[in-house]
């Protein structure tokens, strides 16, 4: 099974700086940062749908797993993971949000 997983702004394969520049030219006056990190989902469509023909290029960069001791998406089910893993996840979520905000500040 192949998964797509999210990362903090500035760490992924999307050109966020260019996106923000375009939005600013169109009148952007504020940004609301919301996140679901580490977002994880399975691919629902066949390869090639929407122009995604292979992983590792474009928006779909190949990275190592976030947790060595958890399977992708397992952290969506708290009853399946240890308290230690949940605490690590919460810390990563907070750090991810802080990284995203700092990245946005650096490009605005």
Number of other CB atoms surrounding residue 63 within 10 Å: 11
Residue-wise pLDDT tens digits, 25-52? 999 999 998 877 777 777 777 777 777 6
59-92 confidence digits (pLDDT tens): 777 777 777 777 777 877 888 888 888 898 889 8
User: What pLDDT score was predicted for residue 50?
Assistant: 72
What is the tally of structural domains in the chain? 1
Tell me if the pTM is above 0.85. Answer: no
Residue 96 in contact with residue 7, Cβ under 8 Å?
Answer: yes
Residue 18 burial (C-beta neighbours within 10 Å; 0-12, 13-18, 19+): exposed
17 pLDDT above the threshold of 90: yes
Report pLDDT for 34.
Answer: 84
Provide the residue range defining the domain that includes 88: 3-107
Count of other CB atoms within 10 angstroms of residue 38: 20
């Amino acid at each position: 099974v192949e998964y797509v997983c999210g990362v903090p702004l500035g760490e992924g394969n999307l050109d966020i700086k260019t996106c923000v520049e375009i939005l600013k030219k169109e009148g952007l006056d504020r940004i609301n940062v919301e996140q679901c990190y580490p977002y994880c989902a399975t691919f629902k469509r066949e390869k090639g749908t929407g122009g995604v023909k292979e992983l590792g290029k474009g928006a779909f960069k190949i990275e190592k797993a976030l947790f060595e001791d958890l399977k992708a998406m397992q952290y969506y089910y708290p009853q399946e993971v240890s308290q230690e893993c949940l605490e690590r996840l919460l810390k990563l979520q907070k750090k991810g949000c802080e990284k995203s905000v700092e990245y946005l500040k650096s490009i605005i």
